[in-house]
C-alpha cells in the first residue's frame, strides 16, 4: 500500500467503494487522513463499514461540511452527461475533486528516494484500444530483463494498492480517459498514446473532449519521453506539438503499424510483420513479429511497437526485447488462441467490445467463422462490412443479432441466439485452416456480467470440443 500524503488529520470523502475506492480509503487512512465513504450500493457500503470506515451519505450537505477533498471512482460521472449528486454537493462545500491516480502521483515520491542509487520510474499507457496488452507486454519485457516492476491502474492492482517505491523500481500503469481527466496530479516519466477511436463520448461530451482527456497525460503530465501512435490525426497532432515544445533530446518516439515513418527523429514502426527502429535517418534494429504467437495482427504489432519504444527508452537492448516478446503469453480475452481442433483455430477476443476493436481482430486472421453480437454500441457493425471478404460466415448472438443481421444483408450469417449455439454451428461448419473468432463488437451485459465471463464461457465451450 502507498500511504496518501498531504491529508493528515483532514476529512476526505471517498465516493465509490469498488476496487480502487476501497484501496483509496485504506491508503488515506494509512497516511493519517479521515476517510468518509459512500457508495450507491448497500453491499459496498456494508463491506467498507466492516473494515471500520465511516459511512455517510455524501449527497447530503451535512456529510460534506469540513471536507477537504472528494476522491471519486473512475466509473462515476463528474461532468458529463451529469455529475453525480455527491460531487455537486462536495463542490458546493469547497472540496476539491480528485481520484486515486492523483493521490498516487502526489504520494509515490518520498524523502527515501534521496538514498536510492536509481530513481524509480513511472510509465503510463493510454489509448482507445490496446492499452491492456501494451501495459502487460511492457511489464513482461521488463521482468524478463530482470527489472523490479509493478503493474496496475486499469489493469491488475489499484494504484494505491501497489507497494511503495524501491531503488530502481519501474511502475507500469494502464490509464483510461476517465482516470486521466480527473487526476489533479500527473507526472509520468514515460507516457504512451496508442490511438483514438470513438468511445465513452457521453462521458466526455464528444470526440474533442475525449481527446482532451487523453492529452492531459502529456500536456499537463510533462513526461520526459512521449511515445505517440501516429496512425490517426490526433496522434500526429500530439506528436508534432510535443516535438515543438521540447528544447533538446528526443522527447517523442513516433510509432505506427502499417506505414514507414519518415524524418530524422526517433521512430518505431511495423510493416509486413517486421518491427523496425529508426534513429537519425537510419535503421538501428529489427524484429520479426511473425514469430510472436501471442501478438497476431496489425493492432498487436502497434502494441509491440509501443512496448518496444518504452523499453528502449528505459535502456533495454533490442535483443533483450525480442527475447521477451517471444516468451510473452498474451492477455486473456484479447486475440487469445484457446484451441486447435481438427485443424481449426479458435480465438477468444471477447475484449473486442466495439467495432474498432473487432476490426483489428478481423484483420488479424483470414477464412474466419465470426461470432458477433451482444449489447450493441452506436453504429453497430456497419464499419466492418468492407472486411466481410475475410469472413466465411457470421454467427450472431444476443440483443444485437437481428440488427446485425440486417446490416450484414446478403453476407452468409445465421442468428444463433446464444454463444453455445453459435459455437456449435461454427464448429460444425468450419474446415481445416479456418479460424473461429469470438470478436463480438458489443458489450456483454445482455447475456454475461462482463467480457471476461463471456470469454471464459467461450473457452469452456472450446475445451468441450476437444473431448
Span 373-388, pLDDT tens digits: 999 988 899 999 999 9
Q: pLDDT tens, 408-467?
A: 999 999 999 999 999 999 999 999 999 999 999 999 999 999 999 999 999 999 999 975
Sheet architecture: strand order including 11-15: 54-55, 34-38, 11-15, 67-72, 96-98
Taking alpha carbons only, the member of 378, 351, 382 closest to residue 448 is 351
Contact 215, 209 (CB under 8 A): no
Contact 132, 351 (CB under 8 A): yes
Binding residues for ATP, as ranges, are 127-133
Question: pLDDT higher for 125 or 356?
Answer: 125
Domain 105-326 has CATH 3.40.50.1000: no
Question: Looking at residues 309-324, what average pLDDT do you find?
Answer: 97
* Distance (Å, whole) CA 120 – CA 267: 25
* Distance (Å, whole) CA 46 – CA 60: 19
pLDDT at 264: 84
* Distance (Å, whole) CA 45 – CA 41: 7
Provide the sign of the torsion angle of the four alpha carbons 66, 68, 70, 71, taken in this order: negative
- Region(s) of the chain under CATH 3.90.190.20: 336-465
Taking alpha carbons only, the member of 323, 316, 260, 263 closest to residue 288 is 323
247 has pLDDT over 90: no
Neighbours of 65 (CB within 10 A): 11
Contact 17, 25 (CB under 8 A): yes
246 has pLDDT over 70: no
* Distance (Å, whole) CA 413 – CA 438: 14
Average pLDDT value over all residues in the chain:
95
- Region(s) of the chain under CATH 3.40.1190.10: 105-326
Determine if the pTM surpasses 0.95. Answer: no
* Distance (Å, whole) CA 399 – CA 375: 6
| Grid cell in block for residue 376 | 450493441
| Cβ neighbours of residue 93 closer than 8 Å, sequence gap 6 or more | 61, 64, 65, 66, 67
**Whose grid coordinates read 449455439?**
421
Of the candidate CATH numbers 3.10.20.70, 3.90.190.10, 3.40.50.800, 3.90.190.20, the domain formed by 336-465 belongs to: 3.90.190.20
pLDDT at 293: 85
pLDDT at 379: 87
For the chain, state the CA radius of gyration.
23
Helix and strand element counts for the chain (H, E): 16, 22
| Grid cell in block for residue 467 | 473431448
Q: pLDDT tens, 1-18?
A: 999 999 999 999 999 999
Question: pLDDT higher for 203 or 142?
Answer: 142
* Distance (Å, whole) CA 120 – CA 165: 7
pLDDT at 245: 57
249 has pLDDT over 70: no
Question: Looking at residues 220-230, what average pLDDT do you find?
Answer: 96
3-state helix, strand, coil in the chain (%, to 5): 40, 25, 40
With a pLDDT cut of 90, the percent of the chain lying above it is 88
248 has pLDDT over 60: no
pLDDT at 426: 98
User: In 69-130, where does DSSP find H-type helix?
Assistant: 85-92, 100-107
Neighbours of 454 (CB within 10 A): 27
Cα 464 to Cα 351, 423, 453, 457, 467, distances in angstroms = 22, 11, 17, 11, 6
Can you name the residues that pair with 124 across neighbouring β-strands?
Answer: 173, 191
pLDDT at 142: 98
* Distance (Å, whole) CA 310 – CA 404: 39
* Distance (Å, whole) CA 396 – CA 399: 9
**Whose grid coordinates read 459496498?**
44
Contact 368, 346 (CB under 8 A): no
Question: Looking at residues 328-356, what average pLDDT do you find?
Answer: 92
Return the exposure string of 263-299: e unless at least 16 CB atoms fall within 10 Å of the residue's CB, then b: eebbbbbbeeeebbbbbeeeeebebebeebebbbbbb
Looking at domain 11-98, what is its CATH homologous superfamily?
NAD(P)-binding Rossmann-like Domain (3.40.50.720)
pLDDT at 394: 98
Give the model's confidence band at 133: pLDDT under 50 very low, under 70 low, under 90 confident, else very high. Answer: very high
Q: pLDDT tens, 96-111?
A: 999 999 999 999 999 9
Q: Rounded to 5 degrees, what are φ and ψ at 31?
A: -90, 5
Can you name the residues that pair with 268 across neighbouring β-strands?
Answer: 255, 277
Question: Looking at residues 177-202, what average pLDDT do you find?
Answer: 93
Contact 218, 246 (CB under 8 A): no
Element housing 243 (H / E): helix 233-245
- Region(s) of the chain under CATH 3.40.50.720: 11-98
Binding residues, as ranges, are 127-133
366 has pLDDT over 80: yes
Amino acid at each position: 500500500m502507498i500511504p496518501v500524503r498531504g491529508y493528515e488529520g483532514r476529512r476526505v470523502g471517498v465516493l465509490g467503494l469498488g476496487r480502487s475506492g476501497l484501496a483509496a480509503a485504506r491508503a488515506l487512512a494509512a497516511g493519517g487522513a479521515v476517510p468518509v465513504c459512500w457508495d450507491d450500493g448497500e453491499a459496498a457500503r456494508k463491506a467498507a463499514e466492516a473494515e471500520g470506515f465511516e459511512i455517510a451519505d455524501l449527497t447530503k450537505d451535512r456529510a460534506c461540511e469540513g471536507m477537504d477533498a472528494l476522491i471519486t471512482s473512475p466509473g462515476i460521472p463528474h461532468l458529463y452527461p451529469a455529475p453525480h449528486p455527491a460531487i455537486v454537493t462536495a463542490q458546493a462545500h469547497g472540496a476539491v475533486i480528485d481520484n486515486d491516480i492523483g493521490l498516487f502521483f502526489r504520494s509515490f515520491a518520498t524523502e527515501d528516494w534521496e538514498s536510492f542509487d536509481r530513481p524509480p520510474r513511472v510509465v503510463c499507457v493510454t489509448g482507445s484500444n490496446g492499452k491492456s496488452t501494451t501495459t502487460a507486454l511492457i511489464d513482461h519485457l521488463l521482468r524478463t530483463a530482470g527489472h523490479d516492476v509493478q503493474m496496475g491502474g486499469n489493469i491488475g492492482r489499484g494504484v494505491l494498492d501497489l507497494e511503495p517505491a524501491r531503488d530502481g523500481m519501474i511502475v507500469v500503469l494502464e490509464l483510461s480517459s476517465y482516470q486521466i481527466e480527473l487526476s489533479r496530479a500527473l507526472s509520468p516519466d514515460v507516457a504512451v498514446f496508442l490511438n483514438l477511436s470513438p468511445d465513452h463520448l457521453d462521458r466526455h461530451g464528444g470526440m474533442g473532449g475525449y481527446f482532451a482527456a487523453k492529452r492531459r497525460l502529456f500536456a499537463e503530465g510533462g513526461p520526459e519521453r512521449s511515445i505517440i501512435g501516429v496512425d490517426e490525426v490526433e496522434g500526429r497532432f500530439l506528436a508534432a506539438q510535443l516535438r515543438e515544445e521540447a528544447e533538446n533530446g528526443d522527447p517523442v518516439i513516433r510509432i505506427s503499424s502499417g506505414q514507414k515513418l519518415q524524418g530524422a527523429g526517433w521512430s518505431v514502426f511495423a510493416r509486413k510483420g517486421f518491427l523496425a527502429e529508426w534513429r537519425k535517418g537510419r535503421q538501428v534494429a529489427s524484429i520479426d513479429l511473425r514469430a510472436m504467437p501471442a501478438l497476431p495482427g496489425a493492432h498487436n504489432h502497434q502494441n509491440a511497437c509501443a512496448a518496444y519504444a518504452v523499453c528502449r527508452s528505459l535502456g533495454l537492448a533490442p535483443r533483450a526485447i525480442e527475447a521477451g516478446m517471444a516468451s510473452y503469453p498474451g492477455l486473456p480475452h484479447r486475440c487469445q488462441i484457446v484451441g486447435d481442433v481438427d485443424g481449426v483455430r479458435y480465438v477468444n477476443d471477447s475484449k473486442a467490445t466495439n467495432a474498432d476493436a473487432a476490426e483489428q481482430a478481423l484483420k488479424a486472421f483470414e477464412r474466419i467463422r465470426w461470432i458477433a453480437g451482444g449489447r450493441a454500441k452506436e453504429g453497430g457493425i456497419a464499419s466492418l462490412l468492407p472486411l466481410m471478404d475475410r469472413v466465411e460466415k457470421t454467427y450472431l448472438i444476443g440483443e444485437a443479432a437481428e440488427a446485425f443481421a440486417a446490416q450484414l444483408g446478403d453476407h452468409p450469417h445465421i442468428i444463433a441466439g446464444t454463444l453455445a449455439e453459435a459455437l456449435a454451428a461454427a464448429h460444425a461448419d468450419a474446415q481445416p485452416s479456418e479460424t473461429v473468432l469470438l470478436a463480438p463488437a458489443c458489450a456483454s451485459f445482455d447475456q454475461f456480467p462482463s467480457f471476461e465471463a463471456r470469454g471464459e464461457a467461450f473457452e469452456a465451450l472450446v475445451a468441450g470440443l476437444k473431448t
